[in-house]
Amino acid sequence: MKDGGAETKGLIFDIQRYALYDGPGIRTTVFLKGCPLKCAWCHNPESQAARAEASYFGEKCAACGACVKACAAGALAMKKRAVVRDPRKCSACGACAAACETGAMEIIGRVATVAEIADAVEADKPFYEESGGGATVSGGEPTAQPNFLFALLEEFRKRGIHSAVETCGAFNNSLVSRLAELADLVLFDIKHPDPGILKELTGANLEVVERNLSNLIQLKGESGLIARVPLIPGANTDETSIEGIAELLKSNSYRGLVHLMPYNSMAATKWLKIGRGGEYRNFGALEEDAISRIVNQLSEAGFKTFINR
Ligand code: SF4
Ligand code: SF4
């Protein structure tokens, strides 16, 4: 993507207003598309591919066939009152979505400029000022589009809007100093303390993540970074994993707030819509007792926690 200040372009897939759990206060969250990881529990699977993609939601489909006719590439066919797509032929041109009157066909991902996004975000500036909120850049992984991310953060700063960046920590270490300089707050995910398990469940390299965490803590201090732990039943909620996460944070001089994000299974439809329903894995609900035990364990280790549902 070209770096050109407010005219810099990037690929986004959503902008959500009035977000309450993506940093302090009332926020507008901008979701960038593309992520280097493949977390087994991913809640935004439509964010992973670094390209626009077509999605289809059968429950909304009236089986009218308009999309099949509209597809010049011949990527679509009707089978038993459902539309099937050949992904090898689909270029995500959007003709099917434009022809679909029920909203069953959609294109996920669009190119947007920094100025366009900043205008949309700035519209709610009075809410940010009243609540201590601002803009959050999420994903996907925002650092996967570094020029776009940094141009966005520069623009938010220019317009007097507080910024936060949600990151999985899996990015080139050369980006750390610019990220620390431009983001008012970094929300840093810690998913698992064991390198082998982390690699298996997400594809992330713990060494890379930990080095970036350590550098960001040094540069931002505890007021500029919040550690966040997705609580995934059966993956990282046992006592050993939580102890390992606490140790990892302490060994990198972090004693700040830990946001806990309990897993839920609401992403199943999203996996289906992008044609990856077979990859969806339901980790099940996390019992309230388990959440309390984790809060107590982290509290005994010296951390304050906040449950981010
Ligand atoms: S996005 Fe374009 S190529 Fe893909 S199925 Fe729809 S009309 Fe066909
Ligand atoms: S145009 Fe929409 S409603 Fe009609 S068959 Fe295609 S997806 Fe279904």
pLDDT at 3 over 90: no
Residue 30 pairs in a beta bridge with 15, 137
Q: pLDDT-derived band of residue 4, with 50, 70 and 90 as boundaries?
A: low
**H-helix or E-strand containing 178?**
helix 176-182
CA of 67 to the centre of ligand 2 (A): 5
Q: How far apart are CA 96 and CA 98, in angstroms?
A: 5
Tell me the per-residue pLDDT of 8-55, one tens digit each, with 9 for 90 and over. Answer: 999 999 999 999 989 999 999 999 999 999 999 999 999 999 999 999
> How many CB atoms are closer than 10 A to CB 195?
14
For the four alpha carbons of 72, 74, 79 and 83, in that order, the dihedral sign comes to negative
Q: How far apart are CA 118 and CA 135, in angstroms?
A: 9
Lowest mean pLDDT among 66-70, 152-156, 219-223: 219-223
Model pLDDT, residue 266:
85
pLDDT at 111 over 90: yes
pLDDT at 1 over 60: no
Model pLDDT, residue 2:
45
9 close to 109: Cβ distance less than 8 angstroms:
no
Global pTM?
0.93
Tell me the per-residue pLDDT of 163-209, one tens digit each, with 9 for 90 and over. Answer: 999 999 999 999 999 999 999 999 999 999 999 999 999 999 999 99
236 close to 242: Cβ distance less than 8 angstroms:
yes
CA of 279 to the centre of ligand 1 (A): 22
CA dist 219 → 135, 144, 183, 188, 214 (Å): 21, 21, 11, 14, 9
**5-50+110-307: which CATH topology?**
TIM Barrel (3.20.20)
| Nearest atom (ligand 2) to Cα of 70 | 1
Residue with tokens 């009243």: 130
pLDDT at 103 over 50: yes
Sequence-distant (≥ 6) Cβ neighbours of residue 86 within 8 angstroms? 74, 75, 76, 77
pLDDT at 306 over 90: yes
Q: Is 151 in the pocket of ligand 1 (CB under 6 A)?
A: no
Model pLDDT, residue 99:
98
What backbone phi and psi angles, to 5 degrees, belong to 53? -145, 155
Model pLDDT, residue 45:
94
Pocket test for ligand 1, best of 93, 110, 273 (most atoms within 8 A of CB): 93
pLDDT at 309 over 90: no
| Nearest atom (ligand 2) to Cα of 101 | 2
Q: How far apart are CA 143 and CA 35, in angstroms?
A: 9
Percentage with pLDDT > 90 across the chain: 93
CA of 279 to the centre of ligand 2 (A): 24
**H-helix or E-strand containing 85?**
strand 82-85
Q: Which of 15, 191, 179 is nearest to 109 (CA)?
A: 15
| 53-106: in CATH 3.30.70.260 | no
Report the nearest-CA residue for atom 6 of ligand 2.
Answer: 67
Q: Is 95 in the pocket of ligand 1 (CB under 6 A)?
A: yes
Mean pLDDT calculated for residue range 145-171 = 98
Q: What is the domain partition of the chain in residue ranges?
A: 5-50+110-307, 53-106
For the four alpha carbons of 230, 186, 213 and 292, in that order, the dihedral sign comes to negative
Mean pLDDT calculated for residue range 135-155 = 97
Model pLDDT, residue 265:
85
CA of 59 to the centre of ligand 2 (A): 10
250 close to 217: Cβ distance less than 8 angstroms:
no
pLDDT at 230 over 70: yes
